[in-house]
Structure 1
């Protein structure tokens, strides 16, 4: 019988199966006199009806009474409503594995299990979501899985010893969640409209919600390095405001510093790799702030669910007793060595990028297009295309133990003569990348003894 996986992350609760992610729903609830709505609809009404909106019921999942009419007694009621919404929207009526964040306490896990048992589906296992995400990643002795929720970032340390692949500890960084970034960008955008248009989008709830929805859409589909242009309509007047990319990232940088300071504290004096959630990696300019001596991989949105399905027998106990899985035996996972590439495979990886007849050693190379001349800079690990009409930041190419990855941040890239979309693309020796028909190509090469 097929199973489904529900990944509990309130920035977007996902339902996955063998085919991929089949449904997702942000952790928002809207409670009015006549109905209770959850998910995307509730989020897109949260600024219009702030006193009726909730977004911390997963973050603070508990049974403590709240005063909001007879429909809602506590946060658990809202979580239950969202589980029922997921069951209906994703047609869940079979066995379910829950992938849960490491910050969930035993009491919260017990509440979640109790709620799930009141639905039409059958919970059969709990697994730490960072552990599930990391199974398919490079196997180092120490990995930091970094995920972002609505109200915090969670860093989970994953270790491998002689016998187990396991969670070592969990660190929470409050105040740097998706909602914190949204609130910050809301204020930046509001100041822009006031300064450039003499229009305050937060002067009433409807225009404030319009601005929030605009930023939400932009955040999921932005192009790195390009000047941000916001357009809002109010009372038959269209207001336009522009924000240079550098100004935006400078504002967001204070939150990025808070995240990177914690990463640095956890990796001082040790060799570690970072496993970033795709949502975190998509924050404007975030990847460029990661210290260059740290290797990272980006976990795809379906990576954790796929691992849960592949290893269901290790997560769902045969005796029916559900416990949170925070370690798995290496032998059962098929992990033999602490790296995922053999020496032969490593020898077949490219060592340099060739651009404009110059070779640059491949570690993490930033690709951009700014004023000046086309060049490859070994010292700063940068390639400048210097072409008009392209975003200032076009992506990064990273060499990791699991392979070479191109993190494409625009829709301008042409890989091996085929256009590719934004996202993570695996590269191999001999591949070539361009960003316009007349642009010089970037080619992956291997330099002997290089």
Structure 2
């Protein structure tokens, strides 16, 4: 009996068996002259015929008709079915059992629809597992892992509990923070470099824009290995050359990377040692791992290509006692644990704030707790907030310096928000952070001052 595993991520739908990678192509569809192409064939013409392309059908899986004029007679489910059929007919003649690793952006109704499509295509699905759980094959002792993956249109963060097995505890989806937007930013930066160095604008025609997209992956790989990237594009019988600094590509991606770092920081409590387990796709983005270590602290572990599907294949056995397929959110480890040294914890390097700025007054942050709330505590340092603002508790949160770090502890029922994200009990604050309490709330800015001023 032959088994295979399928990992659903529209940045690269992946199918493999125990011996080899069978299929890895993005969730793109191109409709032209009544011919529907998916995967690499669609991407190869995506910039030449952008109006004939769909690339959100996996994340927006449903049976409703698409609103696009070229696809109005089709649904996202039709496009998913077509891509799965193309994949299966090409590689799966000898597969008897298929396990599927799924992303957190697919809701229960969408998973049911996916299973229905698989049944129609006669895909022998015998198991389904959360993708982050499938990828996590070992325990990280002394630390808390968060699995990081990137799809076409979002970044996926899953905090994992380690109570004897890998268990999905909490998932966050950063919409608009995916590969597709990053590629647009990088193509714009690369095109500007060509214009500056050779007076050639590769975005002037769709054909040369497609050439940029086709080579972007190789250039990003080179950026991750060196300080500069040599580029060339052939157009009209002429070869145009340019050289770009890797830092320019990293800077272009910085707004996306900062969103990921901010959300990760809110997932970790102040006393926890972070381990960010990154898929090969996320880990290959130039500069991302380094930025996360700088802003979040802890360690980064980058998995090998196909790790999620391999983890599902090795550990997701079919449940012979049930009549259907249910989503597994917990699996036992099958690889040796990693000991993460507590004394080797890499603290975030963005700076420790010395003051909390509120309404033009800077309040010193030190070993004595600073309380924020609508009711002052007798004898305590506090910032008393107006009681007419919704969503603020009497003693909402506390800020203090501890072990060389600036810590905020939330004691409210409404939540305390760091850079727009609700914290999980407590977290470490950095210079430049914005803290919000209440709705719409009061904003506090974390700053540093050479001399103590304010209260």
TM over 0.5: yes
Corresponding residue for residue 159 of structure 1: 161
Give the Cα separation in 1 of the matches to 2:142 and 2:128: 24
2:324 counterpart of 1:340: no
The 1:139–1:6 alpha-carbon spacing in structure 2 relative to 1, beyond 3 Å, is farther
Give the Cα separation in 2 of the matches to 1:184 and 1:71: 29
Q: SS in structure 1 opposite 2:140?
A: coil
Contact 1:103 1:172 in 2 (8 A): yes
| Aligned residue runs from structure 1 range 150-189, under 5 A | 150-161=152-163, 165-189=166-190
- Aligned partner (choices 130, 148, 154) of residue 146 of structure 1: 148
Corresponding residue for residue 130 of structure 1: 132
Q: SS in structure 1 opposite 2:120?
A: coil
Give the Cα separation in 2 of the matches to 1:223 and 1:306: 25
- Aligned partner (choices 301, 305, 309) of residue 297 of structure 1: 301
Q: What are the superposed Cα offsets for residues 75-111 of structure 1, whole Å, 9 maximum, x if unpaired?
A: 1111001101110222254221111011210111011
Contact 1:15 1:90 in 2 (8 A): no
* More off after superposition, 193-202 vs 255-264: 193-202
The 1:138–1:72 alpha-carbon spacing in structure 2 relative to 1, beyond 3 Å, is farther
Corresponding residue for residue 370 of structure 2: none
Give the Cα separation in 2 of the matches to 1:13 and 1:160: 28
Contact 1:124 1:317 in 2 (8 A): no
Q: How far off its partner does 1:220 sit? A: 4.6
Q: How far off its partner does 1:189 sit? A: 1.2
Q: How far off its partner does 1:10 sit? A: 0.5
| TM-score of the pair, normalised by structure 2 | 0.69
Name structure 1 gaps, 5 residues minimum: 352-360, 365-450
Q: How far off its partner does 1:216 sit? A: 3.0
Contact 2:13 2:25 in 1 (8 A): yes
The 1:184–1:256 alpha-carbon spacing in structure 2 relative to 1, beyond 3 Å, is same
Corresponding residue for residue 366 of structure 2: none
Counting matched residue pairs gives 342
Q: How far off its partner does 1:64 sit? A: 1.7
2:324 counterpart of 1:324: no
| Aligned residue runs from structure 1 range 26-425, under 5 A | 26-66=26-66, 67-68=68-69, 72-92=73-93, 93-136=95-138, 138=140, 142-161=144-163, 165-220=166-221, 222-269=223-270, 270-291=272-293, 293-313=297-317, 316-328=319-331, 333=333, 340=337
* More off after superposition, 69-78 vs 94-103: 69-78
Q: How far off its partner does 1:70 sit? A: 7.6
Give the Cα separation in 2 of the matches to 1:220 and 1:57: 28
The 1:44–1:341 alpha-carbon spacing in structure 2 relative to 1, beyond 3 Å, is closer
Q: What are the superposed Cα offsets for residues 361-392 of structure 1, whole Å, 9 maximum, x if unpaired?
A: 9777xxxxxxxxxxxxxxxxxxxxxxxxxxxx
Cα RMSD (Å): 2.7
Q: SS in structure 1 opposite 2:196?
A: helix
Contact 2:30 2:38 in 1 (8 A): yes
The 1:295–1:233 alpha-carbon spacing in structure 2 relative to 1, beyond 3 Å, is same
Give the Cα separation in 1 of the matches to 2:10 and 2:207: 24
| TM-score of the pair, normalised by structure 1 | 0.70
Contact 1:11 1:148 in 2 (8 A): yes
Corresponding residue for residue 3 of structure 1: 3
The 1:202–1:170 alpha-carbon spacing in structure 2 relative to 1, beyond 3 Å, is same
Q: How far off its partner does 1:217 sit? A: 3.3
* More off after superposition, 30-39 vs 296-305: 296-305
Give the Cα separation in 2 of the matches to 1:90 and 1:218: 30
Corresponding residue for residue 402 of structure 1: none
Name structure 2 gaps, 5 residues minimum: 347-455
Q: SS in structure 2 opposite 1:22?
A: strand
Give the Cα separation in 1 of the matches to 2:239 and 2:8: 39
* Higher-Rg member (1/2): 2
Corresponding residue for residue 13 of structure 1: 13
Give the Cα separation in 2 of the matches to 1:318 and 1:205: 55
Q: How far off its partner does 1:177 sit? A: 1.0
The 1:82–1:259 alpha-carbon spacing in structure 2 relative to 1, beyond 3 Å, is same
Q: How far off its partner does 1:31 sit? A: 0.8
Q: How far off its partner does 1:323 sit? A: 0.9
Give the Cα separation in 2 of the matches to 1:259 and 1:150: 15
* More off after superposition, 123-132 vs 236-245: 236-245
Which runs of structure 1 show a deviation greater than 6 angstroms over 4 or more consecutive aligned residues?
Answer: 361-364
Q: SS in structure 2 opposite 1:136?
A: coil
